[in-house]
Amino acid sequence: MTDILIRKDGTAGRITLTRPKALNALTYDMCLQIEKALDQWLDDDEVKLLLIDAEGERAFCAGGDIAQVYASGKTGDYSYGRRFWRDEYRMNAKLFEFPKPVVSFLQGFTMGGGVGVGCHGSHRIVCETSQIAMPEAGIGLVPDVGGSLLLAQAPGRLGEYLGMTAARMGAGDAIFAGFADYFVPVTQWPALKEKLIATGDWGAVDAMAQPPENSVMAAQMSEIDRYFAGETLGDILRALRAEDTDFTASVLKTISRNAPLSMACTVEMIHRMRGSEDIRRALELEYRFTHRSMEHGDFLEGVRAAIIDKDRNPKWQHDLDSIPGNAVSQMLMPLGEETLRFEKDTP
**pLDDT tens digits, 153-181:** 999 999 999 999 999 999 999 999 999 99
Q: Can you tell me the distance from the alpha carbon of 130 to that of 289, in angstroms, rounded to the nearest whole number?
A: 29
Active-site residue, 113 included:
yes
- Catalytic member of 73, 81, 108, 113: 113
**CA 20 to each of CA 2, 54, 107, 108, 121: distance values in angstroms, whole numbers, following the listed order:** 11, 8, 12, 11, 22
- Catalytic member of 136, 173, 268, 284: 136
Residue 325 has a pLDDT of 85
Q: Can you tell me the distance from the alpha carbon of 90 to that of 77, in angstroms, rounded to the nearest whole number?
A: 22
3-class SS of residue 108: strand
CB atoms near residue 122 (< 10 Å): 17
Residue 1 has a pLDDT of 53
| Better pLDDT: 1 or 167 | 167
Q: Are 196 and 205 in contact (CB under 8 A)?
A: yes
Reported pTM: 0.96
pLDDT tens profile 178-222: 999 999 999 999 999 999 999 999 999 999 999 998 999 999 999
Active-site residue, 178 included:
no
- Catalytic member of 64, 81, 116, 147: 64
Q: Residue 344's pLDDT band (boundaries 50, 70, 90)?
A: confident
87's enclosing H/E stretch is helix 79-96
Active-site residue, 277 included:
no
Architecture, CATH, for domain 4-338: Alpha-Beta Complex (3.90)
Q: Can you tell me the distance from the alpha carbon of 34 to that of 40, in angstroms, rounded to the nearest whole number?
A: 10
pLDDT tens profile 108-140: 999 999 999 999 999 999 999 999 999 999 999
Q: Residue 346's pLDDT band (boundaries 50, 70, 90)?
A: low
Q: Count of residues for the chain? A: 347
Q: Which residues pair with 60 in a beta bridge?
A: none
Residue 2 has a pLDDT of 84
- Catalytic member of 144, 160, 181, 298: 144
pLDDT at 347 over 80: no
106's enclosing H/E stretch is strand 102-106
Q: Can you tell me the distance from the alpha carbon of 124 to that of 289, in angstroms, rounded to the nearest whole number?
A: 28
Active-site residue, 64 included:
yes
Q: Can you tell me the distance from the alpha carbon of 174 to that of 283, in angstroms, rounded to the nearest whole number?
A: 21
